Every structure is written in C-alpha cells, then in structure tokens.
Amino acid sequence: MNKNGFASHKTRQDDNLIMTSYFEKNKAKKTDSVTIRSVDLYKKDDIHYFALRTSSINEYLEGRRQLIKAGFVYDIKKDTSKATSMLFQKKNISIEAICGIEGDTTEYTFLLQKKELPHPATIQHAEDLLSFNSHEQLVSYFGQKNVKKDLYYFSEKKIKKCSVLFGNSTRQVVFVWEDENNHYNLSFLLISNIIPTASAQKFDDILPNNKWELKNGIHAGMSLIDLLKLNGKDFEIYGNQSEMAFMVKPGVSETIDFKKTTITLGCSNCNNNNLFRTSTTLSALGIAGENLPVYVYNIIISPETK
C-alpha cells in the first residue's frame, strides 16, 4: 500500500476481525487535489474484504466499466451510465459498487469480497451447502455444467429465480436467492426427489431418493416412523385443507428444530383419506399408528442469519 501512495491510518481488532485503514498521501498534482481516496483491508470469517473509497464520480463510473470489460456479471437491467449502486460478480469474487453520502460529500465505494471456498472433503451434508451465497460461487466450485439458472414455483402465481445444482439427479438441490436479479444472497435451499422448477417439469424419468442428508440424519424419502424415532417425541402436521398442507408445524421439538428445518411430508394415495381432511394440525404419532405410507417429501434449510 505504501508503494502505491497510501499511508496506514489505523488498525482495529475484534474477536474475529482485524481491519487496517489507509489514506492516500497528499499529491502535488493540482488536477487531482480534490479527489480523496481511502482503502480498508480486513478479513471476517471466510471472506477477505477490500474497500476502495473515492470522491470522484468519474473514477466510480470508469471502475464499473472496467469491471464489465473484465467479464464480471451484473444486472443488465440497470443503467450503467448512472451513479447508482450495483453488484458485480465473477467466480468467488463479488464487488459492490456503492454510491452514498458521507457527511457533506458524495462517496463512491468499491467493496470487494473474496470468499474462501470450502475444501471438497468438507461438503458432506446438506447444511454444508449453505456456505455458497451466489450462483457464481456455485459455478466456480461445481462447474458450469452442474449449475443452471431456473425458475422456482412457490405456487401457480408466485415464481422466483433460482439456481439448481445437479438438476434431474439424485444430488439435485434448489438454491433460492434474496436478490433474484443477481442470483445472490441465499434465502434458502430445498432438497427433494421432485423439485418445483421449470426445468423439472420437462423431466419424465423417475429418480431414486435424493442422496443429500442432514447432519442429524434426515433425508428425502425418510418414513414418518423413522422421523419420529429420530426426534424422540411426537410433533404436529398440518392437514391437507391447510395452506401449509402436510408440513410439519414449525417449532423446536425434542431433537429436531422444525423452525430451522422445514419439512413437508408426502403420502402415496392419501389425499382422499378422511384423516387428513382438516385445516388444523394432526398428531404425527396418530398418523403413524394408521400405518400409512407417509414420508419426507422435501426439506428446506436456511442460513443461520435468515
């Protein structure tokens, strides 16, 4: 940083963060005397951060043009000629170009985040996939042929953009994003034998059970009886007249937190069974006692912060 004309200003250290700030040294160039630049370098958890701040709108706009030229993907619907905030992504690097007010002046920031992708040996369970926070990160790690952009159907009227990992296979996973246009910031991921996406509607083959398993042993296709044994206690299931039909009621049970892990059940030829015809909840033990073919249909898990 010193070689590039910056001097260290301060260092701040917390439990899991060390930040060093730099300010550009005064220059003799008159044409550049009004431009103020600073840099923050820090690392938090598994992400390296580099924040470059400038007071020059021309540098801000030129910097964005250079990112596009370098092959970074961005929301093509945005007007790149205007000084608005934008997100640029390439593999495991994301750069937020931010326009904001600092005191009495407008400040332009390029916040670069470089994520340390996990070692392949650590991707063993479904929860391990929560470390991926964008489509670009998935492509960088698993390869372009294994990750495809798709549409996720919450219902007939509600559709969201998503990414599908290993689609139409026993390792398929749906990643639904908070930021749909940039396929960025993970909202939740879904694991199921049959996924509600546009591409899956064109797939006619029958797949065996999904091979992804949670750390506690829950997996798609697991019987209700085995789920009860794993939990060690009865829990409630919404009837098929409810908006949350066949979903396990959210909440902390014995060993399973059904609030962090959303589970929807399936049952072969059970829609006409009078037992399920209610808008309230049913006892899982009571259903299991009827010896019905009830099983885990899909699993939804979210990052800890969601």
pLDDT band at 44 (very low <50, low <70, confident <90, very high): confident
Burial of 278 (0-12, 13-18, 19+ CB in 10 A): middle
User: Residue 175: its pLDDT value, please?
Assistant: 98
Residues 6+ apart with CB under 8 A from 29: none
Burial of 221 (0-12, 13-18, 19+ CB in 10 A): middle
Higher pLDDT, 12 or 196: 196
User: Residue 4: its pLDDT value, please?
Assistant: 83
Q: Is the pLDDT of residue 306 over 70?
A: no
Of 9-13, 124-128, 131-135, 215-219, the range with the lowest mean pLDDT is 9-13
DSSP string for residues in 126-143: GGGGGG--BHHHHHHHH-
Q: Is the pLDDT of residue 207 over 70?
A: yes
Report the 10 Å Cβ neighbour count for 87. 21
pLDDT band at 249 (very low <50, low <70, confident <90, very high): very high
Pairing between β-strand 86-90 and β-strand 93-102 as defined by DSSP bridges: antiparallel
Q: Which residues pair with 46 in a beta bridge?
A: none
Of 59-73, 94-108, 208-222, the range with the lowest mean pLDDT is 94-108
Give me the phi and psi of 139, to 5 degrees please.
-65, -40
Q: What is the rounded average pLDDT of the residues 71-76?
A: 95
Distance CA 53, CA 169 (A): 45
- pTM greater than 0.85: yes
Q: Which two tokens stand for residue 195?
A: 């996924």
Cα 270–chain centre separation: 34
Q: What is the pLDDT of residues 105-155, one digit of tens each?
A: 889 999 999 999 999 999 999 999 999 999 999 999 999 999 999 999 988
User: Residue 223: its pLDDT value, please?
Assistant: 96
Place of tokens 């937190």: 257
Domain extents in the chain: 6-115, 121-202, 224-301
Comparing CA positions, the residue from 142, 94, 96 lying closest to residue 118 is 142
- Whole-number Cα distances in Å, 83 to 51, 232, 270: 18, 57, 57
